[in-house]
A and B are shown apart, each in its own frame.
Chain A
C-alpha cells in the first residue's frame, strides 16, 4: 500500500498549504481596511486632531494636502527611486504610483491654522477644530 501513504502525505501537505494561504488572507482582514496608501494614524485631543501618514520616499513637491470643511485629502505620487541606468529587478516589494486619500473628521477644520510637517518619511498634519465647532462649557446656575 505504498501508494496510499504517498497520497495521504501529499493531501496533508496540500491542507497545510491551504491553511497557510487562508491565514495569510485572514491576516490582511484582521488588520482592518488597511489596503490604502498611505496608511494613516489619527491622534486626537480636545482641541485638535493630528493625522500621521507613512510616506517614505515621497518628496514634499510630490505631495498635496487640501482641507475642505471637515475633510482632508492627501494626494501625490510615489516615484520609483532609481537612475536611468539599465537595471534588472531582483525584488520589488515597495509600492509606487499615485495615490489620493480622503479622510473625514468629526468636526470642521480651521483650514487657516492647519500645520503640516514632513520628516523622515512621516507626514504629520495638525488639524485644529474650527472655532464654531469647539465644545462650549455650559455653566449651570442654581436658582
Chain B
C-alpha cells in the first residue's frame, strides 16, 4: 500500500476555470471493473448522501459530482487534521459500448456505485466450441 492510495487528492483547477463555490474540491478515488454485461464504477465520496450527488452525461463525458453537507461541528475547534473536507468531482470519457439509457447510480456509506450496462452488441458472448470429430 503506497501513500498515494490513502491521501485524498485535491483538484487543482477545473479546465482552467475558477469555481463559484468557495470550497475545496477533491478527486474521488475510483475502482472500475467490467463484468459480462456491465461496467461498474465505485467512487469514494465520504460525507455525501443521496441528495448531494450529481451524475451527468453529456455526449460521452460522464461527470460525477458530490456535495458534502456543511459540517455541523459547532462548538468544536479543529485540533489535528489528516484529511480535508470538500466536494468531489471527477470526469470520465465513455466509449460507445455503454447503453446510456440504463445507467444506474446508488450511494451507500459514502460510496457511489455506478452501473453502466454494456450496449447489446458489446456484451460478452460465450462461443461454444464443438469438437471437430
Pairwise interchain contact B46-A120, C-beta atoms closer than 8 A: yes
Pairwise interchain contact B40-A35, C-beta atoms closer than 8 A: no
Given A28-B4, A34-B3, A89-B33, A40 and B42 contact (CB-CB distance below 8 Å): no
Given A36-B6, A37-B6, A95-B1, A87 and B34 contact (CB-CB distance below 8 Å): yes
Q: How large is the interface on A (under 10, 10 to 19, 20 to 34, 35 or more residues)?
A: 35 or more
Taken residue by residue from 36 to 63, chain A's Cβ proximity to chain B (1 for < 8 Å, 0 otherwise) reads as 1101111111001110101111110000
Find B76's partner among A44, A83, A118 (CB 8 Å cutoff): A44
Pairwise interchain contact B31-A89, C-beta atoms closer than 8 A: yes
Interface size on B, residues (CB 8 A): 40
Given A28-B4, A37-B6, A41-B80, A94 and B35 contact (CB-CB distance below 8 Å): no
Give residues of chain A (73-125) contacting chain B, Cβ–Cβ below 8 Å: 81-83, 85-95, 97, 118-122
Given A87-B35, A93-B30, A56 and B111 contact (CB-CB distance below 8 Å): yes
Q: Does A131 contact B (CB under 8 A)?
A: no
Find B33's partner among A52, A82, A119 (CB 8 Å cutoff): A82
Q: Does A32 contact B (CB under 8 A)?
A: yes
Pairwise interchain contact A83-B1, C-beta atoms closer than 8 A: no
Pairwise interchain contact A121-B77, C-beta atoms closer than 8 A: no
* Cα of A58 to Cα of B109 in the assembled complex, Å: 7
* Cα of A28 to Cα of B5 in the assembled complex, Å: 11
Which B residues contact A (CB, under 8 angstroms)? 1, 3-8, 29-36, 39-40, 42, 44-49, 73, 75-83, 85, 107, 109-111, 113
Which A residues contact B (CB, under 8 angstroms)? 24, 28, 31-32, 34-37, 39-45, 48-50, 52, 54-59, 81-83, 85-95, 97, 118-122
